[in-house]
Structure formats: C-alpha cells, structure tokens
Structure 1
C-alpha cells in the first residue's frame, strides 16, 4: 500500500450533519446517486453534491490478491505501485505532484478483493482529475526500470510492515491455516520469491486482463453538474478499448471439520499473544451483520465482555479485541489478546471460550444489542462524511456486491439484527471444530542476530 499523502481537501462536514440527523430520526441514509455504463463497459456512478466546492473520484478495479496464481503472489499489490509510475502523457510520479500542487489528495490500496485508486481536488479541477485517471487506464508506462524500482519498494514494505513487525508472521501464518482455497490462503503483500519472479511480460498481461474499463467502476462525488460531468467522463474514457472479461475466481471453501492450531516463536514479540479465528460467511449477508453485532458485544471497546473479563477483572491481558472480516468470499471472525506476565495462553483461551459459550446459551442483554447497533451505525455514518469516502464506498459496493445502493440500506440491515440472531450465529459459527488458533511466544534473540530481513 502506498504511503498516505497529506489530505488537503476539506471534508464535507455539512453532509455528515445531514447524515447524522437522518440516522437519528428516520433511521435512513439517502445518497442520491446516478448510474450509467459507457459503451466500453465502464460503470459510472455520480453523486452531485453542492455542499462544498470539492470533487472526489474513486476508480475501483475488480482485481485483488484473490485473482493471483501460485508463483505470482503479491502481484495485485505490486501493480498498484506500478500505476503511479507514469503513463503516455504523465511522467513518473507526476500525477501525485499535480494533485498535491492543486490542493488535493490521492492514494491507492489493494485488498484480497479489489484495487482502488482515488483523488480529491477542488471542484474546478474536474478535467485534471479525469485526465489523470483515464491516461493511466489507457497507457500505463510498463518498463523494466519501473518494475524493478517498485518491486524493491514492495519488498521493503513487506520487511517493514510484516517481517520486522511483532506478530507479523503470526498473522500471515494464521491466514494460511484458516483457508484451504488459494484465493485467500496467501497474503496480499506476497512472498519475496514470487515478487522476484515477476517479469515485464507478466505486468503487461496483468494490465491488459484486469485494468480494462469493463473491469472497473468509476464513482464521482461532489460539486459538479451531472450532465456535464458524464459528458466529460465519456470523452475521457469511452475510447479506451474494452477487453475480454477476466477469468472468474473459484471462491469455494470446504467446511472445516477440526480445530487447526500452531505456535510461532517471535524474536520481535515482547509478550505472548493468542489469535483465534472462526470461518464464517461472506459480507452483506444476514449472518454477517449478526456476527458484526456479536463481535461488538464480545470484544468491542472497554464495556465488552472480553475486555471486562480479561483486562479489568482478571488482569490477564493488556488488551483484547477482534472483528468480523468483510470479504466477497468467506470471511472470518477474529479474536486476539496480548498477555500480561502473570497469565498463561491456556488460561486466556479458556476465558475466551467460556464467554463464547455464554453467548451460545444466553441471549445478550438489551443494552448490549443497542450498544452494538449504535457503534455500527456510528461507524457507517462517519464513513460517509466526506465526498471521497462516499465515492470509495459506492465503487466498492458496486464491485463487491453489484449493489452501490447498499450505501443507503446497510444501516437497515444492521438494525434488523435481533438477540436471537446473535445467539444463532454464535452456535452456528463459533464452534471448536471451526476455529484456527495461533499462539505467539516471545523468543530470545540469538547473540549476533538481527531482525528478520525478509530474504
């Protein structure tokens, strides 16, 4: 992931106030979006909003690490870096300079399920915004020099963000243990060996296959005239050739029939840590929203059950947390805890499983249900406060679920969760045979050694 640039464009505070008021009264969010598809298959979503003189664009490509093949892991993320190395009419790193010099912000991120690029600029820079995104979609500069440079950058990112981070290897190992299907079994960052094996020919083929207009969603939000903006989008993008649809990804995941467990010795860790995960469900499903509420009850904040039990009452851990991971394919439910010196991993695990059993046998309290829903509502609404966040959200829901309208209905789906739903999903998914456990133990550094080099 590229390092974040300075965010200089103003946020839509007025829009946030409107959304908060809607959530507190009618419990409704209403982002008035328009959708069209260009002749080459590019899907375009627009939201005209004159709250502030700002525009934001999100170009979301339907490609992530799940699309990679064995021997080429890390390729989707490597390619994200390549997209900032210039194109036919834009020099190397010139795009960032042009955006920042005009008072804007820009970045890009890669996940298992998508790769997204985004910018926000003053509203008088719409032509620049469209030119920059269209030029790199049409004519990315694919050279050996750019590839070697960005390969080294990604490898350094792996060293600093994973190999030389406490518990970094544990997260990667747990992901490989949870999943059987290669699509989610490997990390987004990839392996050093696979990154070294990437060739210019690989990059060119990847670009042609996945960075086509018919494999992307463009969302534009902000201060513009919709008719005028759509005409400019068509002029900028419609001449980019459509490509054959990329191959579909097999996302089937076999049912887990027994607990999976391993331990990791970590010379960077300063305390033992317990990581527990349960295979669960794809995002935007009834059970996904119930598991979100369950997660908030079990481990969301200082009033959660695990925090009260492990941190406050028994003083066994310094922290505890977790989340329900949202994926297009099968996501997982995560719990993690870092131990105090007087505790054992076995005792901490025992408390975690006891609290899970309580959720299976007893309905959660009314206040817990309401707190969990309130927290989720706040998260959803705060995620829509700026033009940029709305553009990213609309494009992502279109790519993930073929439903940009989820931006208006997600709150309703959370509100519909009942105490019975929470108890039901606890029994269905948080089973012993369905869990994967990684125990990380600090390891004394051998004399004369340094932190992992990642090589």
Structure 2
C-alpha cells in the first residue's frame, strides 16, 4: 500500500510532468513554391516520427448527386501509385515497423504514417507518391466501391442508431452540404464516371490545398531538404475556391421522427445549430456538454440515471465543424418512461444553466477536465501533427492555435457559460427528433 508521502510525491511528479508536456509546442512553418504548407515540430524524446497530410476537402465540397467522393478518396488513395503496386501501400508501412491510416470528415481528409525515425524518408515518399502519382482507374474505383459499400453496411445500415446523425443533419442543414453524411450515397458513387473521380482528385488533392505536418525525431535542416526532394516536383493546382452556404436562423421548434430497424429502445434528441469551431463559443458549448453529461457526477446523469432512474443513458456533445456546429442532447428511457418526460428533465437542467451561474466547484472541475484533455491531445507526435495542421486549416492559417487553446480554455468564465446557454439553447431554435424502432 502506498503511504501518504508516496501519494503526494506521485501527485507532484504527475503535475510537473503535465506542466512539461503542456509547454509551448515549438514549430517551423513555411510555404513551398507549389503552395504546399509545411509544418515541422522537433521532438527528440523518442525515435519516432509522424508524417501527415491534411487536405482541406470533405463532404461539404461535394455536390448533390455526387456525394461520398471525399470519403471514397480516403480509400482510393491507398490503391496504389505509378511506383507502388495495387495493395502494397499498407504492406510497405507494416514491413518497415510503421502504422498508417486515414479519416474523412465533412471538412477535411487526414492521412498519416507513424514510423521509427530511421524510416522518415519512407513516410515522405509514400505521401508524395499519393499526391503526385496515384493510379485512379476503373479497377481501383470498382474495388474501393465495394469496400465503401461494405463499410456503410457495417457502420451505418446495420449499426444500431447508425443513421442518427444523418437524420439530425438533414433537418438542421436544409441548404448547407452538411445535409448529407461523409459516407455519402452509394447510388451517387455507382453513377459516377471515372472521369468525375479523376476531376475531383485534380481539383482538391493538390499541394496548395494541403498541409504537410511532421512531428517527431527529426533534424529540421535535413527535414526541409527532404521535404523539398520529395514534394517540390508536385505541380501546383488551380486555387480551391469555397463559398460557405448560409443557413437561415431557426425561428420555430422543428419536430421530426426517424425509424431504425436495428434498435429496440427509442431515443429522444434535441439539436441546436451553433457556431463553427473557429468561434470561441464552440469551446463554451463543449464545456456545457461536459457539465451536463460527462461522468457519473454530471447534472443529467446524476438526475436522470442515478436519482430518478428514468433513463438508461443520457448525454450531450458539441459536434464542432468548420462552418457550423450542432449541439446535441440524447436520452434512452428506462422501461416505459415516456420520451417527453426525458425531454422535460433535460430542459430543466438547461434552464438552470441559463438562469444561474454554475458553482465555483463545478467551474474548477470543468477547467481541470479540459486542461487534461488538452495535455493528452499534445502528448503524442501524431496528435501534435494533427493539431498543428488543424490550426492552419481551420483557424485562419493560425498554426499556433494549438498553443493558444489552453489560454482560451482558461479565459472562459462562468458568465460565458451562462450567456452561451441563453443564446443558443432556446426551444424555439432547435430540432426535436424522436428516433424510434422500426416495425420488422
């Protein structure tokens, strides 16, 4: 058993460790002549390096009738290149002690490799090959079309509550391309011609629409030379022009019902359209969701699950995106508790946030939670690489946003939390969705 002195020493050590991790993330950034933005962070604590490329293209860059392209390319660009045979990309990574993956959102596509630092050149070569020499042909398109269809069946069509967010977003964003899910429509992908896929790549997967972000055991001078060696020949593309689609404010509560054959328990959700991730209020809404539903001592869980035993599960989260965000609450009933009873319970806790300042104790707790999350996000090279790229991509080319985020967290006051709850969480500006089991 640890003695009190040992516990205290351990706590001090942990605190000091967090202090060192939370220090400013130093980085070097520059633009290449072809428009590629390069970010380099040196971390010599372990012989590891993360090589990543973030393309500023997601499902919001698609058009009606041709949805799912950005997510499709997340898969397609692993098919092969002029110098990498079909199916060999991932084999090369694993054979050299690395890990790799990619993911797509409504706003960006992110590819990465994490290698032992002695394979740094390999990571650069793989990403330059993906950008410069991809093979986009009928064989690859047909192959990945089947892969995407299977993913949709597993993660959406046959997954309990798999269509929940899509059901919410089609109501919340009637005009904006957030209206459809990143996985898109299989019918759209089936109908697309090879030339359309090739045109999509030529338009968006260009160096002037990307950030090459590298973090780890690198020598900065050598890294700059290697980046030039592998990426200088990639031709610059035409400027990518994107115009945000403005939604009309929601002035009257919307009510809708969706059915899911994969569920047995109904769910009730409320969703409010809120500012995008570059707005300080987006972070405030994250804090509100934590106050309401993070952990067993949160307001909604304690009240609805522990005390009243009306809900099996209750939660809330801020779905932060570039152009807008969606603040969502949800609850599953315990037994035959009416869904409207759960809605009433949630609304009561929201009204408390709108009426009174949270306690000093709750405020300190939420500050600690967010500071710990911030520290964790910058504790690994891949996290640092992604955060630096996200800062440049989503915060007006402010790569250093990752160093300002902690200051922003600490600047949010109890008054900010109350004001945001009043401003955004009004019943007259929300969607209430009853998500119900479909009859077999």
What secondary structure is seen at the aligned counterpart in 1 of 2:432? strand
Match of 2:86 among 67, 86, 92: 92
Provide the residue aligned with 2:238 in structure 1. 244
Alpha carbons of structure 1 residues 180 and 23: separation in structure 2 relative to 1, 3 Å: farther
1:338 alignment partner, SS class? strand
- Please list the CA deviations of residues 322-378 of structure 1 after superposition, one character each: whole Å capped at 9, or x if unmatched: 211221111011111111113110100011111111111111111111111211111
Write out per-residue CA displacement over residues 307-333 of structure 1, whole angstroms, 9 at most, x where no aligned residue: 011101111111111211221111011
Task: Give 2:287's aligned residue.
Answer: 293
Shift of 1:27: 10
Correspondence for 1:381: 375
Q: Give, in angstroms, the shift of residue 387 of structure 1.
A: 0.8
1:355 has 2:340 as partner: no
Q: 2:8: which partner in 1? A: none
Q: Deviations over 1:254-305 (max 9, x none)?
A: 2111111111232211211111111111113221222121111111111111
TM-score, scaled to structure 2:
0.94
Corresponding residue to 1:409 among 393, 404, 413: 404
What's the secondary structure of 1:331's corresponding residue? strand
Residue aligning to 1:426? 421
Say whether residues 1:344 and 2:338 are aligned partners.
yes
User: Whose RCO is larger (CA < 8 A, sep 6+)?
Assistant: 1
The CA distance in 1 between the partners of 2:365 and 2:88, in whole Å, is 47
* Residues 298, 305 of structure 1: 8 Å contact kept: yes
Determine helix, strand or coil for the equivalent of 2:100: strand
- Which residue of 2 is the match for residue 41 of structure 1? 35
Indicate conservation of the 8 Å contact 1:22/1:29, yes or no. no
Q: Whole-Å Cα distance in 2 between the matches of residues 86 and 294 of structure 1?
A: 45
Matched position secondary structure for 1:32: coil
Residue 69 (1) aligns with residue 69 (2): no
Alpha carbons of structure 1 residues 137 and 20: separation in structure 2 relative to 1, 3 Å: farther
Q: Contact between 2:176 and 2:246, CA under 8 Å: does it hold in 1?
A: no
Distance change >3 Å, CA 139–CA 26, structure 1 → 2: closer
Is contact 1:20–1:381 with CA below 8 Å preserved after alignment?
A: no
The alpha-carbon deviation at position 22 of structure 1 amounts to 6.6
Match of 2:180 among 160, 182, 186: 186
Correspondence for 2:222:
228
Cα distance, 1:436 vs. partner?
0.9
Per-residue displacement from partner, 1:4-42 (whole Å, max 9, x unpaired)?
Answer: xxxxxxxxxxxxx9x975796599531111001111010
Does the CA-based 8 Å contact 2:244-2:323 persist in structure 1?
no
Aligned partner of 1:453 in structure 2 is none
Offset of residue 209 of structure 1: 0.5
| Aligned-residue offset at 1:214 | 0.7
Give the secondary-structure state (helix, strand or coil) at the position aligned to 1:243: coil
CA distance in 2, matches of 1:349, 1:137: 49
| 8 Å CA contact retained: 1:23, 1:29 | no
Separation in 2 of the partners of 1:235 and 1:25? 37
Deviations 1:156-205 (A, max 9, x none): 11111111112222321111111123321111111121121122101110
Provide the rounded CA distance (Å) in 2 between the counterparts of 1:180 and 1:442. Answer: 25
Measured in 2, the distance between the counterparts of 1:348 and 1:266 equals: 20
3-state secondary structure, aligned to 2:163: helix
Q: Does residue 440 of structure 1 match 2:435?
A: yes
Verify the 8 A CA contact 1:27 1:412 in the aligned structure 2: no
> Would you say the 8 A contact 2:53–2:111 is kept in 1?
yes
Instruction: Please give the secondary structure, in 2, of the residue aligned with 1:205.
Output: helix
CA–CA distance in structure 2, aligned partners of residues 304 and 27 of structure 1: 28
Q: What TM-score do you get using the length of structure 1 for normalisation? A: 0.91
Distance of 2:361 and 2:57 partners within structure 1: 41
Alignment check: 8 A CA contact 2:278 2:394 kept:
no
Deviation at 1:442, TM superposition (A): 2.1
CA contact (8 A) 1:29 1:409 kept: no
Matches of 1:332 and 1:246 in 2, distance apart? 26
Q: Following superposition, which runs of at least 4 residues in structure 1 exceed 3 angstroms of deviation?
A: 19-29
Deviation at 1:106, TM superposition (A): 0.1
Query: For structure 1, which segment, 178-187 or 98-107, has the greater mean C-alpha deviation from structure 2 after superposition?
Result: 178-187
Instruction: Using the TM superposition, give the Cα deviation of residue 212 of structure 1 relative to its aligned residue in structure 2, in angstroms.
Output: 0.6
The number of residues matched between the two structures is 429
Unmatched runs of 5 consecutive residues or more in structure 1: 1-16, 446-455
Q: Which stretches in structure 2 are left out of the alignment for 5+ residues?
A: 1-10
State whether residues 58 and 219 of structure 1, in contact with CA within 8 Å, keep that contact through their aligned partners in structure 2: yes
Partner secondary structure for residue 275 of structure 2: coil
